[in-house]
Amino acid sequence: MIQKGCIKLAIFLPFCTGLVFSLFSIIFYFGNWHRALVVFLFGFFFGALAIPEIEEKAVLYPTLFQIIAGILGGCMLAIALSASLKYAVGGAIIGAVLGFTAHYWIKFVQIP
């Protein structure tokens, strides 16, 4: 799904947004590593959703890519928060909806 010339962007962007999000959590809540992990996953999710919006040619099917990223992001956050199975499924559904509608709202997200 990711084009050959854009693999570096696909790896670099989610990790950088996750690090930027978690950096502020580490600075203001030092020692709370569980919170830093959850905030990193939240930033990673937004970085993965932004890949098709930043580089249109990076992903072959951008809406499908964003839906899959949303499902994985919702599941990862539910697992990091030690949620039960029904909440993990709910997180996956919410993530899928956020991924499907990402091209409408992702441009308004401001990275700290």
> Could you tell me the pTM of the whole model?
0.80
Q: Which amino acid makes up residue 43? A: G
Report domain extents, the chain. 4-108
What is the rounded CA–CA span in Å between residue 70 and residue 106? 12
Residue 26 has which token pair? Answer: 């580490």
pLDDT-derived band at 1 (thresholds 50, 70, 90) equals low
Contact between 77 and 35 (Cβ < 8 Å): no
| Percent over 90 (pLDDT), the chain | 12
Question: Is pLDDT at 34 greater than 80 in this prediction?
Answer: yes
Question: Is pLDDT at 111 greater than 70 in this prediction?
Answer: no
The predicted model gives 14-18 an average pLDDT of 89
Report the SS3 class of residue 59.
Answer: strand
